[in-house]
Chains A and B, each alone.
Chain A
Amino acid sequence: MSTDFEPRIIGFLCRWCSYNGADLAGTSRMKYLPNMVPIRTNCSGRVDPTHVLKALADGADGVLIAGCHPGDCHYINGNYRTAGRYPLMEKLLEQLGLEHGRVRLEWISAAEGDKFAKTVTEFTEQIRALGPLDWGKQFEAEEAKTA
């Protein structure tokens, strides 16, 4: 694995908590690694497993989903749906040959700018340690084997 590997990460941030937490990290001028591009959704419950698959298939090395803490959801319980869906998705990704740790779910409130900054940096380092995700190649190898 080359040491200058820069992971590409997509972060789905819920609009009410985590997106604002990211804003707070900004207004507080907290520095974190630049590898994650945020995508805003109204609720973490809007994040469809296909969004995660799409990101990984299109070249992301990792995906972060961040929403309000349990009980704090702006939509009463949307984040409980996320929490319920997430383990199933992890299983699916495992079956697709994805290493554990490329997708992460975090609860980050609008007041937790520091947690947001730390999470992004830690997650980036984690993905860096896992190395690039070359899904296309993996499938090609699988196909070559079966052919």
Chain B
Amino acid sequence: MADEKIAVYFCDCGTNIAGKVDVDEVVKWAAEQPNVTVAREYKYMCSDPGQDLIKTDIKELGVTRVVVAACSPTMHEPTFRKAAADGGLNPFLLQMANVREHCSWVTEDPVEATEKAKRILSAQIHRLPFNEALQPIEVPVNPDVMVVGAGIAGIEAALKLADAGKKVFVVERDPSIGGHMAMFDKTFPTLDCSACILTPKMSALGKHPNITLMAYSEVTEVSGYVGNFKVKVRKKARYVDTDKCTGCAACTEACVVQKVKSEFDVGLGYRPAIYIPFPQAVPLKATIDPAKCLTLSKGKCAKQSCVSACGPGAIDFGQQDEQVELDVGAIIMATGFELFDCEREARYGYGRLANVITSLEFERLSNASGPTGGHIVMKNGEAPKSVAILHCVGSRDENYQEFCSRVCCMYSLKFAHLIKEHLPETEVYELYIDMRAYGKGYEEFYKRLMDEGVHFIRGRAAEVSDVALAPEEEGRLVVKAEDTLLGIMRRLPVDMVILSAGLSPRRDAKEVAQTFGFGCSANGFYLERHPKLEPASTMTDGVFLAGACQYPKDIPDAVAQAGAAAAGALTFVNNPTVKVEPTISYIDPEKCSGCHICVGLCPHAAIQFNAEKEVAEVIEAACKGCGVCVAACGSNVPQQRGYLDKQIFAEIEGALAL
């Protein structure tokens, strides 16, 4: 151990590190540290010449251990490990000292930063003699993929994978796939009919030979690891035998309970207790709402007319939820968003004032398949003579959501256009803070709307009330707002107010993320692995993100991310095996006293008690390398490769050596 030859490489990272840390001084200091054979500075260690330095020194100087002081290991550890391996050194004999994210970028004073860089480096120099050569563990990969959520992002990802020849399980919570996009009327800025571009993809998914669709199902448990996930799915009882149901909808017409608020029409229309959410639903199968069905909720329905109406005899009141277990190699999360709950913003009167509606309600109202047949009308059935569209409801607001929801400006412009198209005489007011028209063709669409006679008022609405202060306000809604361009307060009497609600994370996003073993950002959306370079990956290898579950995004962005997530999943499942980190635990049977403490603590049930030998044993394939058993053992018998006690001790000594 004493004759280890350590090479130290200190990266300037341009000025990112060298702009704060006195690199010359640190390198000079490092050269004098125990076991250090060579210490070098280089402008960009991650460049090819930088990596070549490592390879050359291993070959020519007989370097046996390497430390690269540079950025976070999360960033470039794989790069440098590969360089070491190319030079003929076991990659686990290389350590990184994070002197950028943890030092130069966060320290004000250059002298202090230089000292801290030395301490961070010293910890690794002390650790390295205790590092051992390790071999990555190769495990077989299950080539199948699961997609969770089947809105446009999930559909796109599933189709891409299925077309690439992979078997895909699509798990969707609702009775039909389609998500929010199926509810929309037109799409900005091209004004394509949303259903017209979505439904071909929905039916392609439903018919695809490589796709197993599990609609009306939820994931309840996920275990395993990349290449080998085990997933438990609960298929909720539809009380309809889907093998027999032809989707003819005769039962829905026959049902005696016809006035259940339709989820698909966001409560503006009605559906029966046995229903098909919308005509293009995939799968086109009826579902009984157990809370509304008289037979299921009250135990008796005099007619049971659905049963008599159903030719194939598909109704099955005795059906139970079903547990299904899936084995997959990768998972794509595409669980989408929810609309901001506008009742929280009480000053706009949603839920209290009849003609204050949400953006999603407007989508259904202007949609030909919606509850009014596409007629934009108020609650009394008359067309509004004036409409105000209030931007940023719940978005860009420190009281609710600080972030911009990205799509509201554009869909608000689309609404204005649709109102003008349906009702040319109606006045439309857009009350905005800033107009964010950032996408392809968006600014042009904004310009077009300005020529269509829409009134743009720059200012966030303060209040919507039904209290009239002037004759023209009688019986109408009054929007109070400051027009910040004119510098005056305005009262706008209108007939209808549309709240351009922001996009919120799903209510249960946090629990779902926990089930799958990754986290959420501060704003509640799923946390990506890297905000710039890996927006479609999670911290959990083999689990990917697509669509608005990661952050609000419009359809083209959701589709693009779905493609990225599908490609990410393919990079794993296209290989027969995957290499997993060998930093797992082992137990020396000679030292184990068989006390059982570690057995019960292992989160992955990776420690078994061998009753014959009376010792605990690690099941290598199940161990994920948390190290809980190591810390728990009173005799320090379990040890974690790559994080041995002596390695951590040496790091502590090094960090405190100066």
Contact = CB atoms under 8 A, between A and B. Distances in A.
Interface string A73-88: 1111110010001000
A5 B652 CA distance: 20
Nearest to B120: A37
B132 interface: no
A70 to B, nearest CB: 10
A43 B628 contact: yes
B162 interface: no
A35 B112 CA distance: 9
Nearest to B624: A75
Contact of B628 (A40, A45, A60, A112): A45
Contacts of A91: none
Nearest to A68: B519
Contacts of B652: 10, 39, 51, 54-55, 58, 60
Contacts of A77: 603
B113 interface: yes
Contact of B119 (A37, A45, A58, A85): A37
Contact of B643 (A8, A41, A111): A41
B220 interface: no
A73 B74 CA distance: 18
* Chain B interface residue bracket vs A: 35 or more
B603 A59 contact: no
Given A16-B539, A39-B648, A74-B540, A34 B631 contact: no
Interface in B464-515: 510, 513-514
Contacts of A51: 645, 648-649, 652
B133 to A, nearest CB: 19
A38 B120 contact: yes
A111 B603 CA distance: 24
Contact of A111 (B522, B604, B656): B522
Interface string A26-53: 1101111010011111110111111100
A71 interface: yes
Contact of B514 (A30, A54, A71): A71
Contact of A81 (B527, B631, B656): B631
Contact of A26 (B100, B119, B604): B100
B101 A34 contact: no
A75 B604 contact: yes
A135 B109 CA distance: 30
Given A26-B101, A72-B519, A31 B107 contact: yes
Nearest to B104: A26
Given A39-B655, A81-B601, A110-B539, A46 B102 contact: no
B583 A111 contact: no
A8 B106 contact: no
Contacts of A17: 519
A34 B103 contact: yes
A23 interface: yes
Nearest to B585: A46
B539 A46 contact: no
A48 B540 CA distance: 25
Q: Most chain-A Cβ atoms within 10 A of its Cβ — which of B98, B519, B520, B632?
A: B519
Interface size range of chain A in the complex: 35 or more
Contact of A46 (B72, B603, B643): B643
A109 B628 CA distance: 19
A147 B254 CA distance: 96
Contacts of B626: 42-43, 45-46, 74-75, 78
A22 to B, nearest CB: 6
Nearest to B632: A81
Contacts of B624: 75
A117 interface: yes
Contacts of A26: 72, 100-102, 105-106
A19 B101 CA distance: 10
Given A60-B656, A77-B603, A78-B603, A47 B631 contact: yes
Contacts of A41: 627, 643, 648
Interface string B111-123: 0110110011001
B210 interface: no
A147 to B, nearest CB: 29
Contacts of B120: 37-38
A4 to B, nearest CB: 13
A46 B656 contact: no
A19 B520 CA distance: 16
A40 B73 contact: yes
A66 interface: no
Given A38-B120, A74-B540, A77-B603, A48 B645 contact: yes
A24 B108 CA distance: 17
B606 to A, nearest CB: 10
A58 B119 CA distance: 14
Contacts of A20: 74, 539
Interface of B: 72-74, 98, 100-103, 105-109, 112-113, 115-116, 119-120, 123, 510, 513-514, 517, 519-522, 527, 539-540, 583, 601, 603-604, 624-628, 630-632, 636, 640, 643, 645, 648-649, 651-653, 655-656
Interface of A: 8, 10, 16-17, 19-20, 22-23, 25-27, 29-32, 34, 37-43, 45-51, 54-55, 58-60, 68, 71-78, 81, 85, 109-112, 117
9 contacts: A23-B102, A26-B106, A32-B106, A41-B643, A45-B628, A46-B626, A58-B652, A58-B653, A85-B632
Which 8 A-B pairs give the minimum distances between C-beta atoms?
A: A26-B101, A46-B627, A75-B626, A45-B628, A76-B603, A37-B655, A43-B626, A48-B631
Given A42-B640, A46-B628, 20 more contacts: A20-B74, A26-B72, A30-B106, A34-B107, A38-B120, A42-B625, A43-B626, A45-B631, A46-B640, A49-B631, A51-B649, A51-B652, A58-B652, A71-B510, A72-B513, A72-B519, A75-B603, A75-B628, A109-B519, A111-B522
